[in-house]
Amino acid sequence: MLLTPDLVPVISASGQSARVDEKIAARFKTGTTVRVRNLHPTTHTRLPGYLCGKVGTVEIDHGVFIFPDTHAHNLGEKPQHCYSIRFKATEVWGPTAAANDTLRVDLFDDYLDPA
Amino acid sequence: MAKTKPAPVESETAIRVRALEAILIEKGLIDPKAIDALVDTYETKVGPRNGAKVVARAWFDPAYKQRLLADATSAIKELGFSGMQGEDMVVVENTDSVHNVIVCTLCSCYPWPTLGLPPVWYKSAPYRARTVSDPRGVLKEFGTILPEDVEVRVWDTTAELRYLVLPKRPAGSEALGEEALAALVTRDSMIGVTVL
């Protein structure tokens, strides 16, 4: 499909949500402790490397979304839950980080293990 | 000494963008005029004044604020703002005990319908790397110094959700109407690098 100027207001106003309207079970309940898998794909991913191996808590279940890691490479939508995971700053950066501060990162089911 | 000024060196990003643009045109995927229309939309029509209206409404109308924090996408749409890069929104509220700041360490994810296009610094590698590892240091450079007992909550928005900070309403603004309140709200306060 060719993107033409007359389509710009249409796509700008409608957008394209990656949310999937499917009942897919969440692997983790909110409040659960999880560990980020030690993954280093050389292909597309939304997993920031600085979190590998870190332990956090499932704070928000955002619902089911297309999995970008497969979708980006035409390997299917692989819909799954995406969560906001809370990490203590000290868990990620060590004792010099402020004790009160936290990181909240949106991570997909496939990036997580139970901790 | 050279008599003529050397041509400005094009940045790596600019070269890459030009190459991508050329490929998309060559493959017949985009009409160059559509790129101009996109740039025009987000430079002149959609911008942080939209977000400011959302914030002012939330300060002014407690029921709206409740809806905004519960389902940001729908509440923002009530004011007519929705679409590309704002399909699934989350609004996070600054309070006396929590200060929120938004970053995307993997690229430059940003809520276009409410804030427009991201500023250059938001896309820069130092902002992206340092906001997660040294948020208080970055905030200080924006003139924002927070007490130790305030939790700095850094949102690394690497997936499909887009975030907007609801800043704390400034002291002394109690008598102001919605429009006057909106005029107080800055882009940077809705990214969370400054307070009002």
pLDDT per residue as tens digits for the range B78-127: 999 999 999 999 999 999 999 999 999 999 999 999 999 999 999 999 99
**What are the pLDDT digits (tens) for B27-73?**
999 999 999 999 899 888 899 999 999 999 999 999 999 999 999 99
Residue B7 pLDDT > 80 = no
Q: Are B169 and B184 in contact, with CB atoms under 8 Å apart?
A: no
Residue B102 parent element (H or E):
strand B98-103
B78 and B92 in a common domain: yes
- The DSSP bridge pattern shows strands A55-65 and B89-93 to be unpaired
- CA distance between the termini of chain A: 45
CB contact under 8 A, A12 and B83: yes
Residues linked to residue B164 through DSSP beta bridges, in sequence order: B91
Query: Which letter does DSSP use for residue B6 in this model?
Result: P
Question: What's the rounded mean pLDDT across residues A97-103?
Answer: 97
Q: What angle do CA A85, A109, B87 make, to 5 degrees?
A: 75
Q: Which domain holds residue A33?
A: 17-114
Return the CATH number at B134: 3.90.330.10
Q: What is the mean pLDDT of chain B?
A: 94
Q: Is the minimum CB–CB distance between A58 and chain B shorter than 8 Å?
A: no
Q: Which domain holds residue B23?
A: 12-43
| Four-CA torsion A6, A10, A13, A14, nearest 10 degrees | -160
Which among A98, A85, A42 has a CA at the least distance from the CA of B156? A85
Q: Domain tally for chain A?
A: 1
Domain membership flag for residue B118: yes
Q: What pLDDT score was predicted for residue A16?
A: 87
B68 and B159 in a common domain: yes
Q: What pLDDT score was predicted for residue B43?
A: 86
Q: What pLDDT score was predicted for residue B8?
A: 73
Between the alpha carbon of residue B50 and those of residues B82, B111, B183, B191, the distances in Å are 10, 11, 11, 14
Cα nearest neighbour of A100 on chain B: B151
Residue B151 pLDDT > 80 = yes
Residues of B with catalytic annotation?
104, 107-109
Domain membership flag for residue A107: yes
Q: What is the mean pLDDT of chain A?
A: 95
CB contact under 8 A, B148 and A105: no
Q: In chain B, which residues have their Cβ closer than 8 Å to the Cβ of A8? A: 34, 37-38, 41
B112 and B169 in a common domain: yes
Residue A7 pLDDT > 70 = yes
Q: What pLDDT score was predicted for residue B112?
A: 95
- The DSSP bridge pattern shows strands A102-108 and A112-114 to be unpaired
Q: Domain tally for chain B?
A: 2
B34 and B58 in a common domain: no
Q: What pLDDT score was predicted for residue B52?
A: 98
Return the CATH number at A40: 2.30.30.50
Q: Which among B88, B106, B149 has the least Cβ separation from residue A19?
A: B88
Q: Are B114 and B76 in contact, with CB atoms under 8 Å apart?
A: yes
CB contact under 8 A, B149 and A8: no
Q: Which SS3 state, helix, strand or coil, does residue A45 take?
A: coil
User: Best mutation site among B132, B148, B163, B165 for testing chain A: the one with the most A CBs within 10 Å?
Assistant: B132
Query: In the 3-class helix/strand/coil scheme, how is B95-149 assigned residue by residue?
Result: CCCEEEEEECCCCCCCCHHHHCCCCHHHHCHHHHHHHHHCHHHHHHHCCCCCCCC
Domain membership flag for residue B7: no
Share of chain A above pLDDT 70, in %: 100
Q: What pLDDT score was predicted for residue B159?
A: 94
Q: What pLDDT score was predicted for residue A2?
A: 87
Domain membership flag for residue A51: yes
Domain membership flag for residue B53: yes
Q: What pLDDT score was predicted for residue B9?
A: 78
- CA distance between the termini of chain B: 50
B63 and B110 in a common domain: yes
Residues linked to residue A104 through DSSP beta bridges, in sequence order: A86, B155
B116 and B89 in a common domain: yes
What distance in Å separates the CA atoms of residue B55 and residue B37, rounded to the nearest whole number? 28
Cα nearest neighbour of A5 on chain B: B34
Residue B3 pLDDT > 90 = no
Q: What pLDDT score was predicted for residue B181?
A: 97
Q: Per the structure block, which two tokens stand in for B161? A: 């959700």
Q: What pLDDT score was predicted for residue A94?
A: 97
Cα nearest neighbour of B86 on chain A: A15
B136 and B95 in a common domain: yes
Residue B2 pLDDT > 70 = no
Question: What's the rounded mean pLDDT across residues B158-165?
Answer: 96
CB contact under 8 A, A65 and B159: yes
Domain membership flag for residue A95: yes
* Residue B9 Cα, gap to closest chain A Cα (Å): 30
B35 and B130 in a common domain: no
Domain membership flag for residue A8: no
Q: Is the minimum CB–CB distance between A18 and chain B shorter than 8 Å?
A: yes
Q: In chain A, which residues have their Cβ closer than 8 Å to the Cβ of B146? A: none
B38 and B53 in a common domain: no
Q: Per the structure block, which two tokens stand in for B77? A: 């749409």
Q: Per the structure block, which two tokens stand in for B175? A: 């008598």
B96 and B19 in a common domain: no
CB contact under 8 A, A12 and B135: no
**What are the pLDDT digits (tens) for B162-193?**
999 999 999 999 999 999 999 999 999 999 99
What distance in Å separates the CA atoms of residue A58 and residue B139, rounded to the nearest whole number? 26
B186 and B144 in a common domain: yes
Cα nearest neighbour of A11 on chain B: B84
B53 and B23 in a common domain: no
Q: Are B152 and A42 in contact, with CB atoms under 8 Å apart?
A: no
Helix, strand, coil content of chain B in percent (nearest 5): 50, 10, 40
Q: In chain B, which residues have their Cβ closer than 8 Å to the Cβ of A65? A: 159-160
